[in-house]
Amino acid sequence: MNYKKLTGLLLTGLALTLSSCNEYLDINNNPNNPDRVEAALLLAPIQNQYTLGIQFDARYLGSYNQNWHNYLSGVSWDLQGYVPSSDAGGEMWRSVYWKGGRNLINLMDDARANQKWDYLGVGLVMQAWGWQMLTDLHGEIILSEAYDLDPTKNTFNYDTQEAVYAKVVELTTEAIKNLNRADGAVSQASLGRGDVIYKGDRTKWKKFAYGLLAINAHHLSNKKSLYKPDQVIAYVDSALTSNADDAQFTFNGLSTADGSFFGPLRQNLQVYGQSAFTLRLLDGTVFNGVKDPRLPVMLAASGDGQYRGITLGQGQSTAASVPLNIRVVSPWGTQLGVNPPAGTTGRYIFTDKGPFPLMTYAQLQFIKAEAAFIKGDKATALAAYRKGIEAHLTAPYVNVPAADRTAYLNNPAIIPASAASLTLSQIMLQKYIAQWGWGFLEQWSDLRRYNYSADVFTSLTLPTTYYQNNNGKPVQRLRPRYNSEYVWNADALAKIGGLELDFHTKPLWFTQP
C-alpha cells in the first residue's frame, strides 16, 4: 500500500465521542464517519503516533547507537545492517506520511478556518518536527509531492535533504508567528483539549519551536560556510529554560492499546540488553573511575547485583553453563529473550505510562555547550555543559539524591576546574548519557557528524565484521519503508541510489563538509 496516496482521515475513537455531532448531520455527510473533524480531536492521536513511531524504530536505532543490543549474536542491526524486504525501521516513515501527514493538514485547515492560531502554530511545528526527524533518519525524502492528490500519480519524487532542512526552518518560523497571536479563537483551555504534550501552553510550544531550530541549525556543524554557532546559541537561549519545559509524552498505561511501546505490557524490548558501551560510560571505565550515580537508575543489574553489558554483535550465551544470575537482563530487569512476567512494572522510562521524552532542557544545553566549544568560547561551553548534566540528574525520571548529585558535579573528572580543560569528548559523552533510552535520533546524528570517532565517543567500537551489504562501511541512514517505496515507488527511489544494496551506508547531506 502506498501510504502517500492515502487521503482518508485517520479517525480514532475520540472522533466518535463528539458531543456536538449535530454539525455533521448533513444529507451529504455520514455522521458516523465525518469528513471534517475539529483540530482538538486530531492533535492527541497525532502526538501519540509520532511518539510511537520513534519508539518503534528505536529498536533498530538503539542498536546502531549502541544503547542496547540483541541477546542473540550476529543480528543484522547490531552489525549496522538491515532486514531486506521488511518494514522494520519504517514506522516513523509511516507515522509522518500517513498517521500524521494528512491529519496534520486537516488539523491546520480547521485551525485556519476557525482562527485557532494556537492549533495552527502547534500543527506547523509538529509538521516541521516530523520532516526533521524523517530526513535525519533517511536523508532524501518525499516533500514537495508528499500530499499530491492526483489519483493517476504512481511515482513520488524525492527532495534533497538540503531542501527539507530549509522547509523545517520555514514551517517553524511560521509556527512561532502563529503561536504569538492572541486574536481569534485562541486559549489555553481550547488548545489543552487536544494537547497531551504541553496541555495547551503556547509559551512552551514556542520554546519547543526554538529548540527545533537549534537542532536544525546545529546539525550543520560540519558545513563551515553554513554553520553559525552564535545563531545556535541564540536559539537555545530562546528555547526550554528548565526541566519544567521538557516535552514528553505520557501514556495511560492500562493495556497494550494505550501503554508505552517501551513498557512491559507491550513486551517489545524483551530481546534487548544494555550495551557494554553505555555501561562503560556509567561505571567509571571512561570517566577516570568515577561511578555515575545514574547507573542504578538507568541500567539494570544482573541477578547477582553486578552490572554487565552486551558487546555489539556478540549477543549473550544462553548455555546452561552460564547461570541466569550473571546474565544481562532486559531494560525492565527481567530475563532476556523471555516475555516479562505479569505484574512487571518496569523502571526508568521503561514503564507502561512512560514518560517518553521528546526534547529536553538538558539536551539543548549540551547543544549550546558544543556550539560554544566549536566557536572557541569555552567559558560558555562549560556553563552549559554543567547545566546539562545537572538538569538530567534532577529530571523526574532520574532524580539522583542531592548528596550524590553534589559529589558528582564537584568531581574534576566530570566538571573541569577550568573552562580551558573542558573537552569535546566530555560534552558529547554526557549528552549521550542524558539522551540514553529516548534521544536515539539526536544520538545518531552526533555519531554520524563525528564519523563514529572513538576520539570523541571514548571507548566506542564498531563491528569487527559488518553486515554483508555494508561493504565494510558504517551505517549512515535507514532505508525507506519497504512496502511504500521498494514495492510502489521504486522508479523514484532508483534516482537517488535507493536500490543499491549498500544505500544505507551513503552519507547524508548534513554530515558532509
pLDDT at 500: 98
pLDDT at 147: 87
Q: Please state, in angstroms and rounded to a whole number, the distance separating the CA atoms of residues 91 and 94.
A: 5
- Domain membership of residue 49 (yes or no) is yes
pLDDT at 152: 82
DSSP annotation of 359 reads E
Could you report the per-residue pLDDT of 91-111, keeping only the tens digit for each? 999 999 998 888 999 999 999
Are both 388 and 438 inside the same structural domain?
yes
- Domain membership of residue 190 (yes or no) is yes
pLDDT-derived band of residue 35, with 50, 70 and 90 as boundaries? Answer: low
CB-CB contact of 262 with 250 (8 Å): no
- Domain membership of residue 472 (yes or no) is no
Are both 310 and 181 inside the same structural domain?
no
Could you report the per-residue pLDDT of 356-400, keeping only the tens digit for each? 999 999 999 999 999 999 999 999 999 999 999 999 999 999 999
State which residues form the domain around 274.
264-450
The residue-averaged pLDDT of 19-37 equals: 47
pLDDT at 11: 36
Q: Please state, in angstroms and rounded to a whole number, the distance separating the CA atoms of residues 175 and 460.
A: 39
Are both 238 and 269 inside the same structural domain?
no
CATH code, domain with 96: 1.25.40.390
CB-CB contact of 99 with 51 (8 Å): no
Q: Please state, in angstroms and rounded to a whole number, the distance separating the CA atoms of residues 60 and 91.
A: 11
Flag whether pLDDT at 488 surpasses 50: yes
Are both 365 and 245 inside the same structural domain?
no
- Domain membership of residue 464 (yes or no) is no
Q: For residue 494, what are the contacts with CB-CB under 8 A and spacing of at least 6?
A: none
Percent of the chain with pLDDT over 70: 93
Flag whether pLDDT at 510 surpasses 70: yes
H/E/C letters for each residue in 50-77? HHHHHHHHHHHHHHHCCCEEECCCCCCC
Flag whether pLDDT at 118 surpasses 90: yes
Residue 310 — φ and ψ, nearest 5°?
A: -95, 135
- Domain membership of residue 31 (yes or no) is no
Flag whether pLDDT at 130 surpasses 80: yes
Nearest by Cα to 458 from 307, 281, 236, 226: 281
Are both 50 and 128 inside the same structural domain?
yes
Flag whether pLDDT at 166 surpasses 90: yes
Are both 245 and 302 inside the same structural domain?
no
SS3 308: coil
Could you report the per-residue pLDDT of 228-243, keeping only the tens digit for each? 999 999 999 999 999 9
- Domain membership of residue 416 (yes or no) is yes
CA 143 to chain centroid: 20
- Specify the residue for cell string 533498530: 60
Are both 238 and 276 inside the same structural domain?
no
Q: H-helix or E-strand containing 367? A: helix 361-375
Percent of the chain with pLDDT over 90: 90
Are both 115 and 233 inside the same structural domain?
yes
The three cell numbers locating residue 225: 560556510
Are both 333 and 216 inside the same structural domain?
no
Q: Please state, in angstroms and rounded to a whole number, the distance separating the CA atoms of residues 500 and 144.
A: 24
- Domain membership of residue 479 (yes or no) is no
Among 223, 255, 287, where does a domain finish? 255
Are both 278 and 237 inside the same structural domain?
no
Domain count, the chain: 2
The H-assigned helical ranges of 72-226 are: 91-94, 103-113, 117-138, 161-179, 188-192, 202-218
Q: For residue 198, what are the contacts with CB-CB under 8 A and spacing of at least 6?
A: 204, 205, 208, 247
Could you report the per-residue pLDDT of 303-346, keeping only the tens digit for each? 999 999 999 999 999 899 999 999 999 999 999 999 999 999 99
pTM of the model: 0.93
Q: Please state, in angstroms and rounded to a whole number, the distance separating the CA atoms of residues 202 and 92.
A: 26
The least confident of 2-16, 41-55, 465-479 is 2-16
The residue-averaged pLDDT of 157-179 equals: 98
Nearest by Cα to 127 from 92, 94, 96: 96
Residue 248 — φ and ψ, nearest 5°?
A: -150, 155
Residue 272 — φ and ψ, nearest 5°?
A: -110, 125
pLDDT at 37: 87
Flag whether pLDDT at 26 surpasses 60: no
Q: Please state, in angstroms and rounded to a whole number, the distance separating the CA atoms of residues 447 and 486.
A: 27
Nearest by Cα to 509 from 477, 486, 470: 477
pLDDT at 24: 33
Are both 91 and 219 inside the same structural domain?
yes
Are both 232 and 307 inside the same structural domain?
no
Could you report the per-residue pLDDT of 271-292, keeping only the tens digit for each? 999 999 999 999 999 999 999 9
pLDDT at 101: 84
Flag whether pLDDT at 449 surpasses 70: yes
Could you report the per-residue pLDDT of 193-227, keeping only the tens digit for each? 999 999 999 999 999 999 999 999 999 999 999 99
The three cell numbers locating residue 226: 553554513
Nearest by Cα to 513 from 225, 308, 216: 225
- Domain membership of residue 25 (yes or no) is no
Looking at the DSSP bridge assignments, the partners of residue 329 are 335
Among 395, 428, 450, where does a domain finish? 450
Among 255, 280, 310, where does a domain finish? 255
The per-residue pLDDT of the chain, averaged, comes to 93
The residue-averaged pLDDT of 53-81 equals: 98
pLDDT at 34: 55
Q: 262-292: string of b/e by CB count within 10 Å (b at 16+)?
A: bbbbbbbbbbbbbbbbbbbbbbebbbeebeb
